[in-house]
Amino acid sequence: MAKLTAFARGIAGTVFRPGDPKYEKRREVYAAKFAAHPALIVQPANIQDIQTSLNFANSNHLPLAIRCGGHSYAGYSTCEGGLVLDMSSFRSMTIAADKSRVRLGGGMLCGAVEIETAKAGLATVLGQCPSVGVGGFLLGGGVGPLMSKYGLGCDNILGAELVLADGHQVKANEDENPDLYWAIRGGGGNFGIVTAFDVTLHPVSNVFAGIITLESADPRTFLRAFRDFLPTAPDELTLIALMSAEPKHKPQIDIQVCYVGESAEGEKALAPLRHHSAVVHDTVKSRPYLELEQMVPADIPPSYDEHCSGFFREFDDTRIEVLADAFLSAPCRVDCFLIHLHGAVTRVPVAATAFPLRRDGIGCDVAAYWKPPDGQQAASRWIEALKTKLPVDEDGNYVNVMEREGENGVRRAYGANYMRLQHIKARYDPHNLFSLNQNIRPAG
């Protein structure tokens, strides 16, 4: 207790402890089943606060979690009995005079960035949820509506400033610490705490975009329609679909489409999908990009759910059958993101960044939602059954949607890039202080 009191006095920011009026709200995370009770939550005001916190966690053998938006599916935004670094004070952004790039504080939220860049007729590659933190999003890869045209979020990182496990401040870019620069583009929060990112801006104002909803008692109908359309998608078109079902309701799929280019060309590209007989709703039109991004609510309450994820190059009839059968027999509300990777994403060589998925195909993330106190077992059984039946590629996964799958799951996710990541981890975090993430074990 005396150590905690002395530590808190040395912090220029704010320290929240159990019993403090704001502690309960501060410890809340999206993944409700992982709700934990940290010994303290530190909201650092400056770099020195971060350094002091790292030293305190190290010296007292405390688990350390880094929180930006709190959206980690695996619950890594918090920890039981440890120290949570809440980066919400690092929320600054500066657009360069030539509008080619923007500097983002490591605690910025995606929605706030999009509002400001839209004022200048610009955008960078961010996701679909305004309350997601840019830190976790960019470090894990970063899929979003602009990726097929402009690459992943991590492909747009020009450089970053980090505080390492030993407290040192460093820069990572093509010229300074290039190995670290390689690793933070997809390698997650394994290597340090990013206090600032420099990312590329693109001239995006209006897009031809919206959501196409298909519905059918037999989900094979709309899954085949989606599958058959994929090979026709040009680089300007990104497709991210959400299939959903729940007992006593007809299954459906919401396909978010975003075409970056002339509306007339977007109309032509999307016509086969929009005219399918299973379409029940279509909001696609020329609209401000910001309007598309704000279709997801800014505030998303905590959720109880079980997840599984993977990647497959071929969205074949076997996989369609497995998903359709599973969703028709689901005991609770379930959904599945189907993320089409192609275009600029897959033209980057696998070895160019830590992000491993550089081949055309589908990243999938399946969730089964449950209510306490007794709903978890049925949801978990359903997810486990699906995992045994749905064929996924042996290597490759999107770490930002993974559950707690352990070292083997992380190895499979990074595939050929894992060994190099281990050696970089050994250099920058040899004692694995940053372990609450999709963790890369230090080599040796």
CATH number at residue 128: 3.30.465.10
Clarify whether residues 368 and 250 are in a common domain. yes
Residue 379 belongs to a domain: yes
Q: Is the torsion defined by CA of 87, 91, 97, 101 positive or negative?
A: positive
How many angstroms separate the CA atoms of 109 and 348, rounded? 27
Half-sphere exposure of 102 (CA within 13 A, CB side): 27
Clarify whether residues 229 and 368 are in a common domain. yes
**Mean pLDDT value across residues 145-149:** 98
Q: Residue 273: helix, strand or coil by DSSP?
A: helix
Q: What is the pLDDT of residues 211-264, one digit of tens each?
A: 999 999 999 999 999 999 999 999 999 999 999 999 999 999 999 999 999 999
Residue 366 belongs to a domain: yes
Clarify whether residues 241 and 153 are in a common domain. no
Per-residue tokens: 321:
């059958």
Per-residue tokens: 420:
């190099």
CATH number at residue 319: 3.40.462.20
| Domain end position, chosen among 68, 88, 108 | 88
Q: Residue 196: helix, strand or coil by DSSP?
A: strand
Residue 101 in this model has a pLDDT that exceeds 80: yes
Q: What is the pLDDT of residues 49-90, one digit of tens each?
A: 999 999 999 999 999 999 999 999 999 999 999 999 999 999
Residue 413 belongs to a domain: no
The answer to whether the beta carbons of residues 331 and 378 sit under 8 Å apart is yes
Please tell me the total count of domains within the chain: 3
Q: Enumerate residues 6+ apart whose C-beta is below 8 A from 120.
A: 95, 99, 201
Residue 444 belongs to a domain: no
Per-residue tokens: 343:
């275009």
Residue 310 belongs to a domain: yes
| Domain end position, chosen among 65, 88, 111 | 88
The answer to whether the beta carbons of residues 85 and 26 sit under 8 Å apart is no
Clarify whether residues 121 and 247 are in a common domain. no
State residue 441's pLDDT score. 98
Residue 233 belongs to a domain: yes
Q: What is the pLDDT of residues 150-207, one digit of tens each?
A: 999 999 999 999 999 999 999 999 999 999 999 999 999 999 999 999 999 999 999 9
Residue 412 belongs to a domain: no
Clarify whether residues 189 and 112 are in a common domain. yes
State residue 9's pLDDT score. 87
- Nearest residue to 259 via CA among 232, 277, 278: 232
How many angstroms separate the CA atoms of 87 and 68, rounded? 5
Clarify whether residues 275 and 348 are in a common domain. yes
Residue 433 belongs to a domain: no
Clarify whether residues 212 and 298 are in a common domain. yes
Residue 338 domain boundaries: 206-403
Clarify whether residues 68 and 106 are in a common domain. no
> pTM of the full predicted structure?
0.97
State residue 1's pLDDT score. 65
How many angstroms separate the CA atoms of 347 and 423, rounded? 26
Clarify whether residues 257 and 369 are in a common domain. yes
The answer to whether the beta carbons of residues 278 and 218 sit under 8 Å apart is no
- The partner residues of 170 in beta bridges, in order of sequence, read 162
State residue 8's pLDDT score. 84
**Mean pLDDT value across residues 11-17:** 96
Residue 153 dihedral angles phi and psi, to the nearest 5°: -55, -45
The answer to whether the beta carbons of residues 14 and 8 sit under 8 Å apart is no
Q: How many CB atoms neighbour CB 168 within 10 A?
A: 11
Per-residue tokens: 307:
């997840």
How many angstroms separate the CA atoms of 193 and 397, rounded? 23
Per-residue tokens: 436:
């609450």
Residue 132 in this model has a pLDDT that exceeds 90: yes
Clarify whether residues 219 and 359 are in a common domain. yes
Residue 298 in this model has a pLDDT that exceeds 90: no
CATH number at residue 81: 3.30.43.10
Q: What is the pLDDT of residues 364-402, one digit of tens each?
A: 999 999 999 999 999 999 999 999 999 999 999 999 999
Q: Residue 345: helix, strand or coil by DSSP?
A: helix
- Nearest residue to 253 via CA among 277, 278, 272: 278
Q: What is the pLDDT of residues 40-50, one digit of tens each?
A: 999 999 999 99
Clarify whether residues 151 and 217 are in a common domain. no
Q: What is the pLDDT of residues 330-351, one digit of tens each?
A: 999 999 999 999 999 999 999 9
> Can you give 89-156 as a three-state secondary structure string?
HCCCEEECCCCCEEEEECCCEHHHHHHHHHHCCCECCCCCCCCCEHHHHHHHCCCCCCHHHHCCCHHH
Exposed/middle/buried for 369, CB within 10 Å: 0-12, 13-18, 19+?
middle
Clarify whether residues 98 and 163 are in a common domain. yes
